[in-house]
Amino acid sequence: MTKKLIIGNWKMNPKSVRQAKDISEKITRGAKKFKNISVVIAPPAPFIGATKGILGAQDVFYEKDGAYTGKISADILKSLAVKYVIVGHSEKRYPLSGGGGDTDETINKKLKAVLNARLTPVLCVGELTRDHQSHYLHFIKEQIIRALKNVSKNIVGKVIVAYEPVWAIGKNAKNALDGEEALHMNIFIRKVIADIAGATTAKKIKIIYGGSVDVKNAEIFISLGKMDGLLVGRESLMPQKFLGIIENVNRA
Ligand code: 13P
């Protein structure tokens, strides 16, 4: 059985490096007993050095080095022992300020930079809204195709696809995806990957779900949705709740 993957995306939290250290210590200590689950924490970049456990980053810049004020390269992340890099999160694609967000093209460059550095990209895809004609499926398919453009077929399997429907982020379990919808998306994304990189890769690639995951709904995405893991926002900042999610996934 392959290990399940649970990533905590802390976004712009907590407020201090001390809290980051404290929360991550509690999570890492509590998660140790779950041998079949990899628990990753993606803190704000300045807190990476102080965060315990397996490390993730929330973003990356695609150039190798140079005059890019405020940017962080894959090599810099690697030197901080980061293993997973989130690419194309919806909050980076569609920033509050409007323009200037990630495009399919920059996401493709970032994903390749992460792979070149031998780190694991976590590619976020997801529709803004759903429609009865299922145009959103085409939207997701295009996001995946464009993100994986010119990625050689034999390494597509190293990418983790995080399905995060934008409408389900920051809500609650009742307004998130349900298990059956998760299963549909899981099958659909594998089909898209099969067309790009073949059936073997499609079978083994990890697909995780994100968007209002909590203790109540975590299990269903794994048991019914057949997801390989979860990408958790708010609840990953509360050690008791995050550990509850991990425990439920372990049981699923
Ligand atoms: P929430 O779990 O807070 O809805 O956030 C989901 C998310 O965006 C994780 O990347």
The CA 58 to ligand 1 mean position distance, Å, reads: 12
pTM of the model: 0.97
Dihedral sign (CA 49, 213, 107, 11): negative
d(CA 178, CA 200) in angstroms, rounded, equals 27
- Please report the atom of ligand 1 found closest to the CA of residue 231: 9
Which atom of ligand 1 is nearest to 162's Cα? Answer: 10
Asked whether 233 lines ligand 1 (CB < 6 A), one says: yes
How remote is the CA of residue 194 from the centroid of ligand 1, in Å? 27
Regarding the beta carbon of 9 and ligand 1, being less than 6 Å apart is answered: yes
From the CA of 232, give the closest atom in ligand 1: 2
| Residues 86 and 124 sit within 8 Å (Cβ to Cβ) | yes
Q: Along the 252 residues of the chain, how does pLDDT read in single tens digits? A: 689 999 999 999 999 999 999 999 999 999 999 999 999 999 999 999 999 999 999 999 999 999 999 999 999 999 999 999 999 999 999 988 777 799 999 999 999 999 999 999 999 999 999 999 999 999 999 999 999 999 999 999 999 999 999 999 999 888 889 999 999 999 999 999 999 999 999 999 999 999 999 999 999 999 999 999 999 999 999 999 999 999 999 998
Q: Check: CB of residue 33 under 8 Å from CB of residue 1.
A: no
Annotated catalytic residues are 89, 164
The answer to whether residues 16 and 24 touch, using CB atoms and an 8 Å cutoff, is no
C-alpha–C-alpha distance, residues 127 and 112, integer Å:
23
CA–CA gap between residue 202 and residue 217 (Å, rounded)? 25
